[in-house]
Amino acid sequence: MKHAYIFPGQGSQFPGMGKEHYTSSAFAKKLFEQANEILGFRISDIMFEGSEADLKQTNVTQPAVFLHSVIAFRSIDPSSGSKPDMVAGHSLGEFSALVANGTLSFESALALVAVRAKAMQKACEMHPSTMAAVLALADDKVEAICKDVQDETGEIVVPANYNCPGQLVISGSIKGIDIACERMKAAGAKRALVLPVGGAFHSPLMEPAKEELRTAIESTTFHTPACAVYQNVAAKAVMDKEEIKQNLIDQLTGAVRWTQSVQAMIADGASKFTEAGPGKVLQGLVLKIDKTMQADGVN
């Protein structure tokens, strides 16, 4: 039996997140204070005392979820024998996964997350854009509608998150998403719901952020991983440091192929998935992808 560890992305944050770790664990408190220093502001105060609105700011959300996830992972008792045979993260969660498998140090990964968050925030402000969840429509139909809308209108609209069968998030310009949503419903989607996000993540509209992240990644030390990471854009086991770097860069404008990544992990022997970090979303997605899997979490 192979044990996969998976790490959540933006959207799993909640007020008060991580406070219990801070008050009960010396090592957690040390990581929080380290994070405050690296980021240049007290993210711990926002996580523990901030409102939902405070936590929704991308430059706060991403480091907060990353920090909580790494602490949750490191809180697992090493004597239990639970160590990853493989790792994966959903979007932002890929950075947590790369700390878990030793590719990145905590400090380096947090610095990259901070650059990524700020760059994505800037890209969002440059282009009014959004995302929408499409439910109960086959992936190939969603892909075809996105392509048709782009070809006919010139508006950007692309598949962004393949979360599980029957749940695909699309991303693009506000006009493109509005047109696509109407067509998705006409094609039989149960729902096509615009999401309360501030930009078109995982679309070509993130290109300016991609270049900023590339510069930061190229000046960061990456180590040989202890186990394979199943990256969003590749949806297969990756061990090569240079390939990991390029996939991290490409992820900003490429789709999160979560369904395909989980399927690849199962094909490579995974039978237990543990989600480390806030929330339980990924556990649910794993079971929707394959209900025979064992899925739990530590937060």
Q: Which pLDDT belongs to residue 197?
A: 82
Statement to judge: residues 32 and 104 lie in one domain: yes
Segment 12-34 mean pLDDT: 94
Statement to judge: residues 50 and 105 lie in one domain: yes
Segment 96-124 mean pLDDT: 96
CATH of the domain at 189: 3.30.70.250
Considering 171, 202, 203, 261, which one is annotated as catalytic? 202
Segment 30-52 mean pLDDT: 96
Q: Which pLDDT belongs to residue 79?
A: 58
For residue 89 the two structure tokens come to: 């993260």
Segment 88-97 mean pLDDT: 98
Segment 108-130 mean pLDDT: 94
Statement to judge: residues 98 and 149 lie in one domain: no
End-to-end distance of the chain based on CA atoms, in angstroms? 23
Residue 158 lies in a domain: yes
Quick check: 76 pLDDT over 90?
no
Segment 220-249 mean pLDDT: 97
Quick check: 14 pLDDT over 70?
yes
Quick check: 48 pLDDT over 70?
yes
Q: Which pLDDT belongs to residue 70?
A: 97
Distance CA 127, CA 291 (A): 39
The last residue of one of the domains, among 194, 214, 235, is: 194
Distance CA 244, CA 227 (A): 12
Considering 91, 96, 108, 261, which one is annotated as catalytic? 91
Residue 199 lies in a domain: no
Statement to judge: residues 26 and 83 lie in one domain: yes
Quick check: 82 pLDDT over 80?
no
Residue 218 lies in a domain: yes
Of the listed ranges 194-198, 237-241, 246-250, 266-270, the one predicted with least confidence: 194-198
Quick check: 84 pLDDT over 70?
yes
Quick check: 276 pLDDT over 70?
yes
Segment 29-45 mean pLDDT: 96
Across all residues in the chain, what is the average pLDDT?
95
CATH of the domain at 59: 3.40.366.10
202 catalytic per annotation: yes
- pLDDT class of 58 with cuts at 50, 70, 90: confident
Q: Domain residues for 71?
A: 2-124+204-298
Q: Which pLDDT belongs to residue 204?
A: 97
Residue 149 lies in a domain: yes
Q: Which pLDDT belongs to residue 80?
A: 64
Quick check: 77 pLDDT over 80?
no
Statement to judge: residues 115 and 134 lie in one domain: no
Residue 9 lies in a domain: yes
Distance CA 127, CA 207 (A): 11
Segment 207-213 mean pLDDT: 94
Distance CA 166, CA 158 (A): 16
Segment 19-48 mean pLDDT: 95
What percentage of the chain exceeds 90 in pLDDT?
90
Distance CA 272, CA 286 (A): 10
Statement to judge: residues 42 and 112 lie in one domain: yes
Residue 287 lies in a domain: yes
Statement to judge: residues 100 and 185 lie in one domain: no
Give me the number of domains the chain comprises: 2
Cα 41 to Cα 45, 46, 63, 164, 194, distances in angstroms: 9, 9, 11, 36, 32
Q: Which pLDDT belongs to residue 81?
A: 62
Statement to judge: residues 30 and 116 lie in one domain: yes
Statement to judge: residues 111 and 246 lie in one domain: yes
- pLDDT class of 222 with cuts at 50, 70, 90: very high
Statement to judge: residues 53 and 185 lie in one domain: no
Quick check: 78 pLDDT over 70?
no
Statement to judge: residues 190 and 261 lie in one domain: no
Of the listed ranges 26-35, 54-63, 201-210, the one predicted with least confidence: 54-63
Q: Which pLDDT belongs to residue 1?
A: 86
Per-residue pLDDT tens over the stretch 145-178: 999 999 999 999 999 999 999 999 999 999 999 9
The last residue of one of the domains, among 194, 226, 252, is: 194
Residue 136 lies in a domain: yes
Statement to judge: residues 213 and 183 lie in one domain: no
The last residue of one of the domains, among 146, 164, 194, is: 194
Tell me the pTM: 0.95
Nearest alpha-carbon partner for 94 in 70, 115, 77, 75:
70
223 catalytic per annotation: no
